[in-house]
Structure formats: C-alpha cells, structure tokens
Amino acid sequence: MVLENKTARYTAEVAPLSDLSVDGKIDLMSIIEPFLGKEYNHQSLMELLEYCNPYPSLRFGVCSLIKKLEKQSEIWTQSPFTKKETPMEINGLVWMNDIESMAIEAEEKVNQGFRCIKFKVGALDFDSECRMLEVFRKKHASSKIEIRLDANGAFPDDLAKSMIKDLCRFEIHSIEQPIKTGNFDQMGKLCKEASIDIALDEELIGVELSKGKSLLKQIQPQYLVLKPTLIGGFDFCDRWVRLAQEFSIGWWSTSALEGNIGLFDIAQWVSSYSPRLPQGLGTGSLFVENFPAKTKVENGYLFCL
C-alpha cells in the first residue's frame, strides 16, 4: 500500500493470514479498489481508516500510512532503537515440528544468543513435549534462559489446569492461549488458579475495543500479546496497552509473518514504549523473497539498520 504526495512516498504493508485474520479470506483488493488513485487529506484518510475497521489487515496498512504522513511516528524515530543506539531483545521462536527437530532448533537458538526461547506446545504428544522441555531445562537454568510457551488454544478445557501444572516444573515464564477463544469463564478461572502466568493472544483478535475493558476485567490475564496486523493498527494497540496498564497487565508484541516493511513499522511502534520484556519480532527471516531489510537479528536482539 503506497501513499504519495509532491515531496514523499510512503509505503505500508497489508499482510492478512488466511486462517487467523478476521479478513484473511476476504478479497481485500476488491474492498480497497474504489479508494485507490484518489487524492486524500487528513479528514478523508481518517474516514478511510474508519471504513477499514472490519478489515484489520487493511486498517493496519492505512494506519501505518497516516502515521508516516502526519509524522506522528516521530516518537518512533526518536526512540533509542530507531536511532540505532539500543537494540530490542526478542524471543527465539522454535517452530512446530517433530520433537527431535524442535529440540535441535531450541539449542540452535540458545547458541545464537537468545535468552528467551518460545516453544509451541499442544499439537504433539504432551508427554513427549514435557520430556523435551525437561531435557532443555536441565541444560539451561531459568536464571540464564527464559522459556515461554504458546498452546494456540490446543489444551482441552477440562485438562488445561492439570497440563499447566505438569509444565510448571520446567520454570515457565508464561503460556499463551492455553484453551480456545470464547470461553471467558474457563480462561478467567485458569488465569486465577493456574500455576503459570497466562497471556491472551488469539482471544484479542476480532474483539471490539468497546468490549476490551470488560473482557480484561472478567479474565484478568497476566499478559497480553499484541499483533498489530491482526488487531487493526497501532492506535488500536495503543488502546489495548492503556487497558493493560489500567489492570496492571504486562504485554509484548508479536509479528504475524509480516515482511520487512510491516516488521520494521511494528518494531518502531514497540520501541516507543521502551519495552522491558523480550518481544516476538523475529519472523522476518522466513521469507525467500522480501522487501529490503530494515532490521537484523543478532545475539537475540533486533537491531535497526
């Protein structure tokens, strides 16, 4: 998505995920086509932004363009990250695979300098996953390496609490979305009673911000995982951050397979908050073809180029 004026050209990314984005199975070109090639001022751009509310991926792109055009992103460009003074710590994501491959990849991530390793769990034999984590933890003390887990809603509602208890012995920092979305009562009970801190991830996708406060009040999670492309843009994420602060909930941001343009924009936004927790912004290296890189990953940190 490109916006041009007489002096500059601004580019933003629209990157829906077919199985996860609210608009992932919609022909977004047909949605945006009537608005292409027109002249815009601030008012008309804001109207376009509101029009895109039902389409989070499109809204993310329009929101990014507006921030670049209005130079609202100056707070980003003046952050220590964007000024190339301070890199941003990120987690090393171990992609879902067979147990042996995941164990090997986790060790590779440690050797690459990551101090926070994130494992996907719940898709394979649970006992085998536990044995993998046990072996990993015996090699790497919690004082040196942090473990995050992401279940992607895979745990059965009635077994989730006991499964989380089994995982607790591996000194886990947090687990994302242990059960499927929509079961607020059960999720709230887990957040209150589970032996590992819980982060909401998919639970936030498609939620109207007007209902965000009641959602957090009911569930009371320990963390939120904010994905700007799936949530609908940085202004929506800012509002989630304010709600998190109101309820003393921690948060971090995760990229959702954006290319280098979207990844850099997300990194700039995150850096404006001077994050203390490792972020989930290491997915840019997955693509064979991509836009020119504006970041690089080194020793477990994301650097601005």
Whether 38 is catalytic is: no
Fold of 88-304: TIM Barrel (3.20.20)
User: Domain spans of the chain?
Assistant: 2-72, 88-304
CA dist., res. 146 & res. 144, Å (int): 7
| pLDDT mean values, one per 10 residues, the chain (305 residues) | 85 89 92 90 91 96 88 68 94 94 97 97 96 98 98 96 97 98 96 97 94 97 97 96 97 92 94 93 73 92 95
**Helix/strand number for the chain, H first, E second:** 12, 12
CA dist., res. 97 & res. 115, Å (int): 21
As given in the structure block, the two tokens for residue 73 are 């992103």
pLDDT score, position 75: 58
Whether 120 is catalytic is: yes
Q: What angle do CA 45, 49, 52 make, to 5 degrees?
A: 135
Q: Pick the catalytic residue from 68, 109, 118, 120.
A: 120
